[in-house]
Amino acid sequence: MAGSGGGLDCDAAALAEARAFNEDLTRRLSMLPDQWSYPPAVIRERRAEGLGPFPQPPKSPDAQTLSIEGPHGPVPLRVLRPTTREPRGAYLHFHGGGWTLGAADEQDPRLAEIAERTGLAVVSVAYRLAPEHPYPQGPDDCETAALWLFREGARAFGGTRFAIGGESAGANLAATTLLRLRDRHGAADAFAAAVLVCGCFDLRLTPSARNWGPRKLVLNSRDIDQFVRHYLAHGTDPADPDVSPLLADLAGMPPAHFVVGDADPLLDDTLFMAARWRAAGCPAELVVVPEGCHLFQHFPLEIARASNAAIDAFLTRTLA
């Protein structure tokens, strides 16, 4: 695996497994109806019922739900705590789904794994989704959750070591939230670490996103364009740094773990964002995983197990 400070140890068999998985996944997804022939609300309902292209992971019986007040109404927070020890802090998590799909309760097994391995409580934010709730409602909810954790986290989770992160659109929202904390609240040091997994950081579309084309390997160019259209439904300029954090001043950002597969349309987003993070003087480790599709960490692959272990090691090391 290519990387700086965070390479993965996977052999040729693991890469062959991932390559075969990608070919099969592309074939299976190409046989499905066009998801954009349905309204996003219908897509969400079908996924929640287990009728989407990917199986729904089991819900954890140990998860708790809190609710905090935000500028657009209540913001639910799904909390998973370590089961073998008291938490020493918290990881604030934003799910993916193009600001349009996904839910805070759709990745319980992975979030529980993070909690057990790192000793952090994981707080996943059920932020509002477009197109019903376009920008700025989603990031406003995320900002609200981050401020709540910054102010109440020591009481709620027994420590002041906090990390932030997410996947895909969730990585975008994590970066935006860090910038808002710095610029609006003078709280650049609220989070000591960031985990940014296959993020979409430039909504004008980077070359890899724009040139990927129609191949459906979880995500394709049309999907990205549709997600951006839903999210920016009120006509927000995609060059606004509040929606495209790649274009922001990144000074004062915490140490970050960037990871992306080289079979991901959003490859350039991570490459460019990690470079700008470092150029701003902020610590960043970058891992590029051969044969990794978009969100490959969610699939039963050896490269996924290795990547998730590297993420957890980064959190443990950085928040020690």
Give the residue extent of every domain in the chain. Answer: 2-318
pLDDT at residue 5, rounded to an integer: 41
The greatest distance separating any two alpha carbons of the chain, rounded to the nearest whole angstrom, comes to: 50
Percent of the chain with pLDDT over 90: 93
Token readout for 133 is 């709730």
Instruction: Using the predicted structure, report yes or no on whether residue 4 has a pLDDT greater than 50.
Output: no
pTM over 0.95: yes
Q: What is the pLDDT of residues 195-235, one digit of tens each?
A: 999 999 999 999 999 999 999 999 999 999 999 999 999 99
Do the Cβ atoms of 172 and 245 come closer than 8 Å? Answer: yes
What mean pLDDT, rounded, does the chain reach?
96
Q: What is the pLDDT of residues 292-308, one digit of tens each?
A: 999 999 999 999 999 99
Query: Annotated catalytic, 168?
Result: yes
pLDDT at residue 53, rounded to an integer: 86
Neighbours of 27 (CB within 10 A): 10
Query: Annotated catalytic, 67?
Result: no
Q: Indicate which residue of 133, 294, 298, 307 is catalytic.
A: 294
Instruction: Using the predicted structure, report yes or no on whether residue 2 has a pLDDT greater than 50.
Output: no
- The conformational region for residue 283 under phi > 0 = left, psi -120 to 50 = alpha, else beta, is beta
Three-state secondary structure of 54-75: CCCCCCCCCCEEEEEEECCEEE
Q: What is the pLDDT of residues 118-175, one digit of tens each?
A: 999 999 999 999 999 999 999 999 999 999 999 999 999 998 999 999 999 999 999 9
Q: Indicate which residue of 95, 105, 141, 168 is catalytic.
A: 168
CATH class of 2-318: alpha beta
Number of helices (H), then strands (E), in the chain: 9, 9
Do the Cβ atoms of 266 and 210 come closer than 8 Å? Answer: no
Q: Indicate which residue of 108, 264, 268, 269 is catalytic.
A: 264
Query: Annotated catalytic, 208?
Result: no
User: Which of the four pLDDT bands, split at 50, 70 and 90, describes residue 7?
Assistant: low
**Which long-range CB contacts under 8 A does 315-319 form with residues at least 24 apart?**
315/91, 315/114, 315/118, 315/120, 315/163, 315/193, 315/195, 315/257, 316/117, 316/118, 316/119, 318/163, 318/192, 318/193, 318/255, 319/88, 319/89, 319/118, 319/120, 319/161, 319/163, 319/192, 319/193
Q: What is the pLDDT of residues 94-127, one digit of tens each?
A: 999 999 999 999 999 999 999 999 999 999 999 9
